[in-house]
């Protein structure tokens, strides 16, 4: 242990040196000011690199090194969360990044396949202090003994599984198993589906895969960013510290309800409304809504121009509309073409009215006359009023709000009734994919924005030219004064000699210092380098359309478990989800080992699913606690919950009370410090959730209340959240599956 402590002490001494050097470099770089362009670029790169280093060191400072591999050749390598060199000028690392290929035997080597290792050591630290060592002998002929041998090789894993929960997911970088490592390091390209039951670590594997991909494809993914999609805000908060602990911060975490810039879903749909909104057919419905906004006159639109009355009837406008639709551009973008057709039509009407020879019917106007007429019509407000009436500019929010207020005519009566709601500012998660679809159908008419940007650019260039002219005039006077005394004065270059006004203006533009993830969050059309979707089985077909737009390269990792599917808008199979986008070009893998849920609890949970699906096979639990779950009936549900919470709350760790949403206010009133709401604080000792909120989370103890109120999937989720103890309370009758499998 002394050797490892000396190594850790030396490692953190090196970290302190790096931190001080990084801080000085950032300060010095910022003090450089506005130097020439190359120096400014180098400064920006230096600041970014040093800031990233500081952020990584701060994030992983608690347990930087966690392992060592001793090679049969006699060499050894220490394994850590990030890699560090002994000196900036040396390439030899003192600490190997866990993602490096040379570190892989730490996770894969066995006694049967030692991969060149004779020993694997797990190092446990508390801050900078080494508290435990666990050695696994991989070369059985090696007679050296350290006194820290772990015969089973599972001590570190079991200790991690049995440790108290904090309300935040911990990384598994020290205990990654072989089947998990294969997924983490799977090829970057294409769609990978990772299926696994409760407790198989699929979420942790997905997060470590994100860290690995950012390491392996740093240049690409730092530029394009990685998106991680979770089922709800509480879940994102729960997993939010994993990637920073691995030294990675350039990732965007979001729910589907947060993927339309400027909108955050705060309202809740009924299950029926969510199901209707999630159907793939809604894309065609919204397309029909947009087409209906491209109106025809009823019966005519009249325009007064230069004391002449011009009339646009449905025949003339229909021709303009069909020609515009033929260009197959989004509605707002295509409006420019519609404007052109209408102006041309009005020009012909007006020219025919004033410029036709009454004797032979020939035109008295030439091309210049027609151009002038068209320009004059373009200045007529009545023309633009007519265009706005026939082909209005539309926004996604207004379009969807109007549709939801009056959906009849596009859906059958039952579906229309399910989604109808008055115009409101509050959006639901199921609305966001519809907003995104509407935005795709509408597009953005950016002519005004481009014109303003060009005007601003010309203004900046004019200002820059003025500065250069003043600089040139000043230098001219100075040169005339010094020419007699300094013959070489004419050889000195001025700013006017080496830069023109356009480049000078560009240099003064303020750089966008936001990270790729920050820029992606504000840009609906951003194409991510890789997308990871957790609880992917819950997404509706419309949500998949949204996500596929964000991933044109189809580089995705999808994580989920069909047995935990409860959303009414969900897709029925992975193939049905992916076929429209990648056909059969996707990979599927399954995690079959349950690291979280003890065998006693998993036995009861599996019985619930088998009551509906006799062939169901749950993941195999790796441990047993000897503590069986209990089930109790009560006539005083709030009182019984209060007593059970006192019984189940661990000395360390967390307890979840999982109950139907209708009971939350009553239960919260009886439990000290417990609140009911959409975004629970998972760091509290006791939290109150419904099964949907609990999805993907884990707690030391769980109390399930009124299991008869849940469907099979929701009940399966609720029963598999505990790592130690499970209790069940009910006043209403138990589901048959729980009655038959009752302890």
The string of pLDDT tens digits covering residues 404-447 is 999 999 999 999 999 999 987 799 999 999 999 999 999 998 77
Residue 403 pLDDT grade (very low, low, confident, very high; cuts 50, 70, 90) = very high
Alpha helical stretches, state H, 61-129: 105-108
| β-bridge mates for residue 302, sequence order | 311
Residue 459 pLDDT grade (very low, low, confident, very high; cuts 50, 70, 90) = confident
pLDDT of res. 563: 84
Residue range 243-262: mean pLDDT, rounded: 92
Whether residue 586 contacts residue 578, with contact meaning beta carbons closer than 8 Å, is answered with yes
Question: Which position has the higher pLDDT, 620 or 87?
Answer: 620
Which single residue is written with the structure tokens 């598999």? 720
Which single residue is written with the structure tokens 């005339």? 480
Torsion of Cα atoms, 556 then 559 then 565 then 571, to 10°: 20
| β-bridge mates for residue 192, sequence order | 557, 587
pLDDT of res. 424: 77
Query: CA-CA distances (angstroms) from residue 310 to 268, 352, 361, 364?
Result: 50, 11, 19, 19
Q: Is the pLDDT of residue 623 over 60?
A: yes
Give all strands (DSSP E) within 84-236, no chain letters: 84-85, 93-97, 117-126, 129-137, 191-196, 226-230
Cα 699 from Cα 654, distance rounded (Å): 5
Cα 333 from Cα 325, distance rounded (Å): 11
Q: Burial of 563 by CB count in 10 Å (0-12 exposed, 13-18 middle, 19+ buried)?
A: buried
**Cα Rg, the chain, nearest whole Å:** 33
Q: Is the pLDDT of residue 54 over 50?
A: yes
What is the per-residue pLDDT across 639-671, written as a single tens digit (0 to 9) for each?
A: 999 999 999 998 889 999 999 999 999 999 999
Cα 631 from Cα 732, distance rounded (Å): 13
Both tokens of 420, joined, read 């109808």
Nearest C-alpha neighbor of 156 from the set 107, 90, 191, 94: 107
Cα 340 from Cα 333, distance rounded (Å): 13
Q: What letter does residue 225 receive in the DSSP assignment?
A: -
Both tokens of 134, joined, read 């666990």
pLDDT of res. 489: 47
Residue 144 pLDDT grade (very low, low, confident, very high; cuts 50, 70, 90) = confident
Cα 197 from Cα 60, distance rounded (Å): 30
pLDDT of res. 421: 93
Q: Is the pLDDT of residue 390 over 80?
A: yes
Q: What letter does residue 363 receive in the DSSP assignment?
A: B
Other beta carbons within 10 angstroms of residue 142's beta carbon come to 12
Cα 575 from Cα 578, distance rounded (Å): 5
Residue 729 pLDDT grade (very low, low, confident, very high; cuts 50, 70, 90) = very high
pLDDT of res. 492: 45
Both tokens of 733, joined, read 């009758």
Cα 341 from Cα 319, distance rounded (Å): 9
Residue range 538-552: mean pLDDT, rounded: 96
Percent of the residues in the chain that have a pLDDT greater than 70, as a whole number: 84
As a whole number, the mean pLDDT across the chain is 87
Other beta carbons within 10 angstroms of residue 238's beta carbon come to 21
Which single residue is written with the structure tokens 């691995």? 246
Cα 540 from Cα 542, distance rounded (Å): 5
Give phi and psi for 146, each to the nearest 5: -110, -15
Q: Is the pLDDT of residue 160 over 70?
A: yes
Cα 50 from Cα 686, distance rounded (Å): 40
Both tokens of 62, joined, read 């608690």
Q: Is the pLDDT of residue 618 over 50?
A: yes
Whether residue 623 contacts residue 597, with contact meaning beta carbons closer than 8 Å, is answered with no
pLDDT of res. 737: 80
Other beta carbons within 10 angstroms of residue 416's beta carbon come to 16
Note the pTM of the prediction, 2 decimals: 0.86
Cα 346 from Cα 348, distance rounded (Å): 5
pLDDT of res. 445: 86
What is the per-residue pLDDT across 484-535, written as a single tens digit (0 to 9) for each?
A: 555 554 444 444 544 565 665 555 555 567 889 999 999 999 999 999 999 9
From 60-74, 310-324, 470-484, 623-637, the region with the lowest mean pLDDT: 470-484
pLDDT of res. 501: 58
Cα 461 from Cα 262, distance rounded (Å): 33
Residues written for the chain? 743
Nearest C-alpha neighbor of 684 from the set 707, 651, 653: 653
Residue range 295-310: mean pLDDT, rounded: 94
pLDDT of res. 24: 64
Whether residue 219 contacts residue 188, with contact meaning beta carbons closer than 8 Å, is answered with no
What is the per-residue pLDDT across 256-273, written as a single tens digit (0 to 9) for each?
A: 999 999 999 999 999 999
Whether residue 134 contacts residue 155, with contact meaning beta carbons closer than 8 Å, is answered with yes
């Amino acid at each position: 242990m002394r050797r490892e402590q000396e190594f850790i002490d030396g490692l953190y001494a090196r970290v302190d040196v790096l931190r001080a050097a990084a801080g000085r470099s950032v300060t010095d770089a910022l003090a450089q000011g506005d130097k020439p362009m190359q120096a400014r670029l180098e400064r920006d790169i230096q600041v970014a690199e040093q800031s990233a280093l500081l952020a990584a060191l701060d994030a992983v400072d608690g347990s930087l090194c966690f392992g060592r591999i001793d090679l049969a050749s006699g060499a050894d390598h220490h394994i850590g969360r990030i890699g560090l060199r002994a000196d900036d000028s040396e390439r030899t690392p003192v600490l190997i990044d866990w993602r490096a290929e040379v570190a892989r035997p730490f996770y894969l080597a066995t006694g049967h396949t030692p991969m060149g290792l004779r020993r694997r050591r797990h190092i446990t630290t508390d801050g900078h202090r080494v508290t435990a060592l666990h050695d696994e002998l991989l070369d059985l002929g090696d007679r050296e003994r350290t006194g820290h041998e772990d015969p089973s090789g599972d001590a570190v894993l079991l200790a991690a599984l049995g440790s108290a929960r904090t309300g935040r997911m911990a990384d598994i970088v020290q205990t990654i198993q072989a089947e998990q490592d294969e997924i983490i390091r799977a090829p970057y390209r294409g769609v990978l589906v990772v299926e696994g039951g409760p407790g198989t670590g699929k979420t942790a594997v997905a997060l470590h895969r994100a860290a690995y991909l950012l390491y392996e494809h740093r240049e690409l993914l730092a530029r394009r960013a990685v998106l991680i999609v979770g089922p709800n805000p509480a879940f994102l908060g729960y997993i939010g510290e994993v990637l920073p602990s691995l030294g990675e911060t350039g990732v965007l975490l979001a729910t589907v309800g947060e993927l339309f810039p400027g909108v955050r879903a705060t309202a809740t749909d009924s299950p029926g409304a969510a199901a209707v909104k999630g159907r793939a057919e809604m894309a065609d419905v919204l397309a029909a809504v947009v087409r209906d906004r491209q109106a025809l006159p009823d019966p005519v639109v009249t325009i007064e121009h230069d004391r002449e009355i011009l009339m646009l009837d449905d025949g003339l406008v229909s021709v303009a509309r069909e020609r515009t639709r033929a260009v197959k551009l989004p509605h707002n973008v295509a409006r420019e073409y519609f404007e052109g057709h209408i102006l041309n039509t009005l020009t012909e009407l007006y020219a025919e009215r004033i410029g036709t020879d009454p004797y032979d019917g020939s035109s008295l106007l030439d091309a210049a006359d027609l151009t002038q007429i068209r320009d004059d019509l373009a200045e007529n407000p009545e023309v633009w009023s007519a265009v706005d009436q026939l082909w209005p500019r539309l926004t996604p929010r207004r379009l969807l709000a109007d549709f939801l207020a009056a959906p009849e005519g596009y859906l059958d009566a039952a579906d229309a009734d399910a989604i109808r709601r008055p115009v409101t500012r509050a959006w639901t998660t199921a609305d966001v994919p519809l907003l995104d679809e509407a935005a795709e159908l509408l597009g953005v008419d950016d002519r005004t924005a481009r014109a303003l940007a060009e005007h601003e650019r010309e203004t900046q260039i004019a200002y820059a030219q003025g500065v250069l002219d003043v600089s040139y005039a000043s230098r001219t006077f100075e040169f005339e004064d010094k020419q007699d005394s300094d013959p070489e004065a004419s050889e000195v270059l001025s700013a006017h000699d080496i830069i023109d006004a356009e480049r000078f203006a560009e240099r003064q533009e303020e750089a966008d210092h936001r990270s790729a993830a920050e820029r992606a969050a504000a840009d609906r059309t951003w194409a991510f380098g890789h997308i990871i979707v957790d609880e992917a089985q819950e997404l509706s077909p419309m949500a998949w359309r949204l996500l596929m737009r964000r991933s044109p390269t189809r580089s995705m990792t999808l994580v989920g478990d069909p047995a935990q599917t409860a959303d009414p808008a969900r897709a029925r199979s992975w193939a049905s989800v992916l076929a429209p986008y990648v056909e059969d070009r996707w990979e599927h893998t399954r995690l079959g080992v349950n690291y979280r849920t003890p065998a006693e609890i998993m036995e009861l949970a599996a019985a619930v699913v088998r009551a509906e699906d006799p062939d169901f096979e749950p993941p195999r639990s790796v441990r047993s606690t000897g503590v069986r779950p209990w089930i109790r009936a009560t006539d005083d549900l709030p009182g019984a919950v209060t007593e059970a919470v006192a019984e189940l709350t661990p000395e360390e760790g967390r307890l979840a009370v999982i109950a139907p949403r209708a009971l939350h206010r009553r239960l919260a009133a009886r439990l000290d410090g417990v609140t009911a709401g959409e975004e629970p604080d998972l760091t509290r000792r006791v939290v109150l959730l419904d099964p949907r909120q609990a999805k993907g989370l884990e707690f030391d103890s769980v109390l399930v209340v009124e299991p008869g109120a849940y469907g099979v999937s929701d009940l399966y989720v609720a029963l598999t959240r505990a790592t130690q103890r499970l209790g069940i309370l009910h006043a209403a009758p138990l589901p048959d599956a729980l009655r038959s499998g009752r302890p």
